[in-house]
Chain A
C-alpha cells in the first residue's frame, strides 16, 4: 500500500509537468479538375516520401445479381497492365524505386495506393492516370485473375473456421441486394464474369468524375496540382452511374439461423442489429457503446503469450471473466454509406452453449436501454479514441482516410470532424441509440456449431 501511495504522488507531479494532449488536425487542399476528378493534397515534410491513393466510388454495393464479387475481381484487373504500362511493369517500377503498392475493395469503394520517395511523384501520378485512362482488358488477364480471386476466397472463407459465418450473417441482415451479398462474391458468379462485363464496369465506374485522388507527404501543393492536371486532366468524364438504392423493406421481427462448420472447433454466436435509415448519429453513438461493451482487446486466443492489460469492458467481464462461458467477445458498429449494423460475436468455451451467452448478452443490451452508461465508462471510451492519432502517422494512412471520406461520404473534413463528434457522444446519446436501434425487430442471431467431424486431423500413421 505504501508503494502505491508513493506512486500516486509521483504520477500527479508528472501530470502537472506534461501538457494535455491534443490531436493534430489534418490540413488539406481540396480542388476539382474540369473532368470531375476531386483532388485532395496534404503537405507533410517529416520524411522524404509521399503517398497517393485513388478511391473509386464503386464497391460490392454496385454489383448486380449474378455478378457478385465483381468489384473486387475488377480491382485485380487493375494490376494487369494499361495502355503504356506492361504486365508486371507497374509493381516493378514502384518496388525497384523504393515504393510499395496495393489495392482494396469493400462494400462502398475500391481504392489503389502507393507510397514512394518524393522524387518519384511523376511516376506515381503517371501510373495511376494511365490505368484510369486505358486499362488492358482481355480474356487472358481475366481468366488469370479469376483464379487468383477464387484462391483468395478459398483462403479467407472456404478454408477458414467461421469463414461462412460472416457471409451468412450479411444475407440475414440485409434484404436489399446492395449489402445482401459478400464483397468476395460467390464462386459461380466469379465464373460467370465476362470480358464485356469488365469493359462496361471500367467505362461506368472508373471515370475521373467517379474518383477521388488524395496525395499526402513531402509535396508542394501548387506544383503537385499542376502535375495532376498534366497527367489526369485529359481523361474524359463519363455519364455518372446511377445512385444505389439501399432501401430495405421494414424488418418486423428477429431472424435466427444455425449453421454447421466442419472447420470450427468451438461454437460461436453472432448477434447483429441492422440500423434504420438516417441513423448516422446513432451509429456513431453505438460505436462508442461497442467500446464500452467489448473494447480493449476482446480476448486471449492469440499466440505468443502476451500479457496485456485485462479487459474491463462489460461483456468481457461478464462472459469471459465472471461466468467463464466464453473464450472471446467482440462488439463493433459497422458503419457504411447505406445502413450499417451493430455486431456482437461470442466464441464459446467447450461445453458451453450459445443460449447461455445470448441470454447474458440480452441482459446487457437491456441495461443499455434502461440506464445511461457511467461517466467513467464514457471517459475511458473517449481516451481510447484519442489514441487514434497513432494510426495516422504515415502519409499513406492519411491519404487513404481522406480519399475514403470523400469517396464514401463526400466529406473529406470527416477525417477531422468524426473524432470530434465521437468525443462529444454523451450517455444520453448512447441510451437513445440503443433504444432506437438495438431492438428485436432489427435483430439477427446466427449460431455456428462445429461440424460432426469437428475439423480434427485424421490420426494417421507415424510420429
Chain B
C-alpha cells in the first residue's frame, strides 16, 4: 500500500527571496515581518481501493466532525445530450429522486429528512464552466456525479436510500410533467441575470458547433424532451465501470470500501466510451457581441477566446501568467482596473481548462458610463502582459502565491481529495502534486511572455457585452464589428 502522506517543502526554499521592490499599482514599505522559515508540509494522499463493480475509490479520512461525504463520478453529461435537445442529462438527474419502485418522491424526501442526510444526482458542468474556475477539481471534467452526505451514524442508511434510487428510478410521468412546468418559470427567472446571459452567449460564441454551447436547458428543448429520453440516458450513462469515486470524512478506508462494495454490489455495467470533442484553434477575428438589456445600469463584459485544455503542456505557465494578470487581489487587474481606476467592484481573469473546455476569459461589471475607458484599460493590460516582460519581483510573487497557497488547502480534505481526483481524471503523473511547487518555481519570465502572447487574446479578442444597448452600442463599435444578439 502507498504511504498516506508525502512530504514536501513550502516553496520559499525554491524561490528567490523577495527583495521588496514596488511595482505598478503598489507601494511597498517593507516593514512588516515575513518569516523565511521553510515549512515542512505533509500532503495527505488518499488510500485507493478497487471496488467489485469497477469503481476506483479514493478515501481521505478526517475525524474532526461526525460527517461522511461520498462523490461518485458517472459518465452522464450534458455533453452527451442528443443534438438539438440540450437538457436531457439535466432532466435525468433532476428526476432521479422523484420516485423508485418502492418509494414515491415524498417518501424519499422524508426518509432523508429523518436522518438529516443529503443525496444528490447532478449532470455535471458540460458547457456550464463558463468563466472562472482555473481548471481545479473534477467538476469541469464533463462528468455527472452522485453525492451522499450524512452524519456518521446515518451514513449507511443514506447510502441504502441512494442505492435504491440509483438502481430503481421510476421517472413517474406525473412528476416529469410537474418538473417541466417548474422549469418554464426557472428559465424565465434565469433571464433576469446579466451575468447568466453573458455566460450563455460566451459559450455559444466559443463553442458554436457542439453541445458545449449550451449552459442549460432551453425553452425549445423543454418541449421536445420525453420521459423516454430520460430512461434512455439513464440506461446508457448511469453505470459504474471505470468510474472514480471519492469519500472523505469520519470513516476508515477499509470500512469505506467494504461498505460501498456491499451497498453497490448490484450496480453493474460496462465502461462507456469517453466523450470526444475537438480542441480547436482560437477565433481569428476580433468581434463584439451585444445583448441589450434596457434599464441596465451596468455593462457586463467578458473578454475571451479559445486557449488550452487541461492536458496542454503550457498549463502551469498559463497559471503563473494568469496569477500575475488577473487572479486574486494581488494581481494586476484588481490592483489597476479596480483599485487604481475604480471602474468595477470585481475583475479577474482565468483559464477554463478541462478535458472539454479550453478558453481564457476575463470579466467585469462596470457602470454604463465607463464602458469605454474600462474596456480600453482592460485591453491595455492584455497588451502589457503580451508585450512587456514581467518584472522579476512580480513574477516571483505570483509563483509564491500559487505554491504557498497549497498549505492552506490542506485544511480542507475535500479540496485535497479533489486534487487527487483531478490527477486521476486527467491521467497526470503520480507525483504531479508532490512536484507541483517545483514545476511552478521553474517557470521563467520568458515562459510567461510566450504563453501570454499565445493565449491572451488581443487582435482576435471576443468581447461579450450585456448592457443598455442604446447607451453602449456606439461605444462598442470602437472596439470591433458589433453583432447584436436577441434574448427570447
Chain A: residues with CB nearer than 8 A to chain B?
1, 3-4, 7, 10-11, 14-15, 17-24, 46-49, 81, 84-89, 91-101, 115-120, 122-123, 126-127, 130, 143-152, 154-155, 158-161, 262-266, 296, 300-312, 320-321, 324, 327, 347, 349-350, 376, 379-380, 383-384, 386-387, 389-390, 392-395, 451, 453, 455-463
Contacts and interface: CB of A to CB of B under 8 A. Distances in A.
A96 B401 contact: yes
B449 to A, nearest CB: 21
Given A11-B160, A98-B407, 9 more contacts: A21-B153, A92-B397, A98-B401, A304-B125, A307-B93, A347-B185, A383-B114, A455-B294, A458-B294
Nearest to A144: B342
Nearest to A349: B185
Contact of B297 (A1, A158, A312): A158
Contacts of B335: 88
A89 B128 contact: no
B66 A389 contact: yes
B53 interface: no
B298 A154 contact: yes
B102 A1 contact: yes
Nearest to B327: A95
A175 B203 CA distance: 47
B102 A3 contact: yes
B219 interface: no
Given A22-B66, A122-B35, A98 B400 contact: yes
B26 A88 contact: yes
B186 A301 contact: yes
Given A18-B153, A144-B340, A460-B292, A151 B365 contact: yes
A301 B483 CA distance: 30
Interface in B26-47: 26-29, 31-35, 37, 39, 41
Contact of A95 (B329, B406, B487): B329
Given A304-B125, A310-B97, A453-B295, A117 B404 contact: yes
A347 to B, nearest CB: 7
A21 B28 contact: no
Contact of B28 (A86, A98, A154): A86
Interface stretch (B103-111, B268-276, B452-460): B103-111
Given A11-B160, A307-B93, A324-B178, A457 B295 contact: no
B397 A305 contact: no
A121 to B, nearest CB: 8
Contacts of B483: 462-463
B66 A309 contact: no
Contact of B194 (A84, A149, A159, A459): A159
Most buried by B among A158, A386, A460: A460
Nearest to B290: A460
A416 B406 CA distance: 30
Contact of A304 (B66, B122, B411): B122
Contacts of B220: none
Nearest to B116: A383
Given A21-B66, A95-B329, A89 B156 contact: no
Contacts of A48: 39, 41, 407, 410
Nearest to B18: A96
A383 B344 CA distance: 42
B114 A307 contact: no
B168 interface: yes
B188 A350 contact: yes
B466 to A, nearest CB: 8
Nearest first, the 9 closest Cβ-Cβ pairs linking A and B are A305-B90, A98-B404, A14-B156, A147-B342, A86-B27, A383-B116, A460-B484, A457-B487, A21-B66
B113 A380 contact: yes
Of residues A159, A380, A453, which shows the largest number of chain B Cβ atoms within 10 Å of its Cβ? A159
Contacts of A455: 191-192, 293-295
B222 interface: no
A123 B89 CA distance: 49
